[in-house]
Chains A and B, each alone.
Chain A
Amino acid sequence: MKISWLSTLAGAAVIGTFIRAVFFTTLEARQGAAQKIFYIHVPAAWVAFLAFFLVAVASGVYLWLRDPRLDRFAESSAEVGVVFTTVVLITGPLWAKPIWGTFWAWWDVRLVSTLFLWFIYVSYIVLRGAIESPELRARYSAVLGILGALLIPFIHLSVYLFATMHPMPIVGKPSAPSLPIGMLITLMISLVSFTLLYFAFVRARYNYAVERDAAAARAEHDA
């Protein structure tokens, strides 16, 4: 199997980011090594939002232009988005245990919203798997892709209103506005490298969808 230049570049960028994050970025004074997970968690969250935003955009344009390429892109982006959301949901609690003293915190708006985000797009993938006709599948998923994006602010707001009635964490949040410059650069590099990784994954997943659809068309032609 041929490995594309984009995957190679993205892989190298991510490895480079981690080398810089682990060896060449200062330790956070209070959190120590636990803070390093920041350079996976934050870019993964960024990619997840980018992925689902692009699903909604591709879905909207699909309903207008009816180009199957847009549907394949939405399919690929949603799946990659779910993978990165899973990374966010694993790294968040891993960091929270030593720092907050608990794996899961219902008062943390972003953590809980991310969980619901994960549910929405997992059901998006299940919906796709439950429809045989490619045309019907594309339309239904486009509708869900758009409605899912409309739902996100409501979930965020309702969890926020819920959380503000509960005690807030005692230990400070990691996203202090005054991030030291060295850490900020590492964070920016991680955002770029994860975005490259997103495009590499989506491209690979998209190419798979093209071949699968072509194979299905051939099978139908032969039958």
Chain B
Amino acid sequence: MADILSAAWLIARKDLSIEFRTRSAFFSAVVFALLGLVIFYYAWDPTAVTATDLAPGVLWVIFTFSGLLGLHRSFGVETADHAIDGLLASPASREAIFLGKAIANLIFVGAVQAIAIPALALFYNLRLGAVAGPLIAIAILAAIGLVAVGTLFSAMAVNTRLAELLLPMLALPFFVPIVIAAAQATAKLLSGRPVIEVGAWLKLLLAFDIVFVAACTLAYPFTVED
């Protein structure tokens, strides 16, 4: 177990340093998220729908779409010069490769959230300070589920004829429970409901994470064998 994790961490560091040096996907995901926040604001009548009602849906829809931008790049970077073959030929196990990719994606998605959530509070004039703790818990649980499923489908989508077109189609049905749970829980928190009322949603997110982190880690080796 320890060597799987250390190999996974090496792979995650490799991906993160590629991303840190080019910053291509990160900036496009952040700018996409900020643009989304702004455009969504104009998609509703502010005299009929308050910003507090609008914010949870906007936040989690944008989180999902900006996540897809980063996820596609995850295995996209390995297609150049068949870099994936080098990775597969390395002594790292298939599970470690998957976990490494997923950890890098989790940090990527978390970094986008760390900018998008305060930006949401600023643009939509929300007081997030009081609900910061539970909101961060929702964000982490939602990100883990999204990344587990998204990383696996990213690995599959790059090998198909449709490539980046296929990823949203495969992944979005799997993001439905995440978006419903995260958006409903956030809506409860923002309307000042007690934390206990979001318990069912948090449990749902946690169960999703456990099932799909396990299932996707076990499924990944089947997508790369040759």
State whether the Cβ of B69 lies closer than 8 Å to any Cβ in chain A: no
- CB-based nearest B residue for A148: B173
Interface size grouping (class) on chain B: 20 to 34
Given the known A-B contacts A130-B160, A139-B222, are A146 and B176 also in contact in the complex, defined by CB atoms under 8 Å?
no
Asked if residues B208 and A127 are in contact (CB atoms below 8 Å), the reply is no
Asked if residues B184 and A132 are in contact (CB atoms below 8 Å), the reply is no
For the complex, what is the distance from the CA of A144 to the CA of B155, rounded to whole Å? Answer: 12
For the complex, what is the distance from the CA of A147 to the CA of B173, rounded to whole Å? Answer: 11
Interchain CB contact (< 8 A) of A123 among B159, B161, B170, B180? B170
Asked if residues A147 and B174 are in contact (CB atoms below 8 Å), the reply is yes
For the complex, what is the distance from the CA of A161 to the CA of B181, rounded to whole Å? Answer: 9
Note all chain A residues with C-beta closer than 8 A to B225.
139
Given the known A-B contacts A131-B161, A146-B219, are A154 and B170 also in contact in the complex, defined by CB atoms under 8 Å?
no
Q: How many A-B contacts are there with CB distance less than 8 Å?
A: 82
Chain A min CB distance to B120 (Å)? 22
State whether the Cβ of A207 lies closer than 8 Å to any Cβ in chain B: no
Chain A min CB distance to B97 (Å)? 16
Given the known A-B contacts A130-B160, A147-B216, A150-B211, are A155 and B176 also in contact in the complex, defined by CB atoms under 8 Å?
yes
Asked if residues A161 and B173 are in contact (CB atoms below 8 Å), the reply is no
Interchain CB contact (< 8 A) of A154 among B161, B204, B219, B222? B204
Asked if residues B222 and A126 are in contact (CB atoms below 8 Å), the reply is no
Note all chain B residues with C-beta closer than 8 A to A130.
160-162, 166
Asked if residues A143 and B223 are in contact (CB atoms below 8 Å), the reply is yes
Give the most central of A116, A119, A131, A140: most B CB within 10 Å.
A140
Instruction: Give the contacts of A115-163 with B (CB-CB under 8 A).
Output: 116, 119-120, 123, 126-127, 130-132, 136, 139-140, 142-144, 146-148, 150-151, 154-155, 157-159, 161-162
Q: How many residues of A contact B (CB 8 A)?
A: 29
- CB-based nearest A residue for B160: A130
Note all chain B residues with C-beta closer than 8 A to A161.
180-181, 184, 200-201, 204
Interchain CB contact (< 8 A) of A158 among B156, B180, B212, B219? B180
State whether the Cβ of A192 lies closer than 8 Å to any Cβ in chain B: no
Asked if residues B208 and A126 are in contact (CB atoms below 8 Å), the reply is no
Residue-wise, chain A 57-73 has the 8 Å CB interface mask toward B (1 for contact) of: 00000010000000000
Given the known A-B contacts A155-B177, A158-B204, are A126 and B184 also in contact in the complex, defined by CB atoms under 8 Å?
no
For the complex, what is the distance from the CA of A49 to the CA of B223, rounded to whole Å? Answer: 26
Note all chain B residues with C-beta closer than 8 A to A147.
149, 152, 174, 212, 215-216, 219
Asked if residues B180 and A162 are in contact (CB atoms below 8 Å), the reply is yes
Asked if residues B170 and A144 are in contact (CB atoms below 8 Å), the reply is yes
Note all chain B residues with C-beta closer than 8 A to A155.
173, 176-177
Given the known A-B contacts A130-B166, A147-B216, A161-B204, are A116 and B160 also in contact in the complex, defined by CB atoms under 8 Å?
no
State whether the Cβ of B169 lies closer than 8 Å to any Cβ in chain A: yes
Instruction: Give the contacts of B106-164 with A (CB-CB under 8 A).
Output: 149, 152, 156, 159-162
Chain A min CB distance to B145 (Å)? 9
Apart from A139-B223, A151-B177, 17 more pairs, CB < 8 Å: A119-B172, A120-B173, A123-B170, A130-B161, A131-B160, A131-B161, A140-B159, A144-B170, A147-B152, A147-B212, A151-B174, A154-B207, A154-B211, A155-B176, A155-B177, A157-B204, A161-B180
9 contacts between A and B (CB under 8 A): A63-B222, A120-B173, A126-B169, A143-B152, A143-B219, A147-B152, A147-B215, A162-B180, A162-B184
